[in-house]
Amino acid sequence: MCGALAEQGYVIIPDFLAEAEANLLYQYAQELPDHHWHLAGIGREKQHTVNTGIRSDQIHWLSEEQPIEARWLELMEHLRTMLNRSLFMGLFDYECHLARYQPGSRYKRHLDAFKGRSNRVLSTVFYLNPNWREEDGGELIIYGENNQVLERVLPTQSTLVMFLSDTFVHEVTLAHRLRFSMTGWFRHNASLGQRIDPPA
């Protein structure tokens, strides 16, 4: 995993969690009440806007107050420590949300971070839906620097994708069935006065 990430800047890991653990997260996402979901926006802080022409998914930010969310965040903390030890990435913390794509939702091409303008370093996407098929859509497409398609990732349950946030333009194609994932970012500490910038 670390070798591939160091060599090409991204890695795709099937079966990151056991099926039973992935199913628990999937069930949790399915049963999360509607008032916990919010239409996702683009940009941060003063630049934050909602534009359903670019992205139309709904999100729920994770916190340590909910046990099942806390378990995922703890797992990512172990991964953060391992990545720092192996690749010296200087990852400081992690933020994450559940994403819900209703049929007809998508997220057009974008970068998760711009060089020098964000502290997001490494993006993670973990897929929850079992029995996902090509005709269900919702693929993650990762592009190279010459706009070539590097990967088309079917959102198969328990697949984890990691990529450098300021390097790879990517998109989520139109979903044709309800699609759940967990999207997060390992971040550097760009804080001033003990304030994380940008804030979670």
CATH number for position 182: 2.60.120.620
Residue 21 domain boundaries: 2-36+55-187
Does residue 177 surpass a pLDDT of 90? yes
Tell me the C-alpha distance between 92 and 190, whole Å.
9
How confident is the model over 82-136, as pLDDT tens digits? 999 999 999 999 999 999 999 999 999 999 987 766 789 999 999 999 999 999 9
44 domain residue, yes or no: no
How confident is the model over 54-78, as pLDDT tens digits? 788 999 999 999 999 999 999 999 9
Q: Band of the pLDDT at 195, cuts 50, 70, 90?
A: very low
The structure tokens listed for 36 are: 């916990």
Tell me the C-alpha distance between 143 and 159, whole Å.
19
13 domain residue, yes or no: yes
14 domain residue, yes or no: yes
What mean pLDDT, rounded, does the chain reach?
89
42 domain residue, yes or no: no
47 domain residue, yes or no: no
Structural domain total, the chain: 1
98 domain residue, yes or no: yes
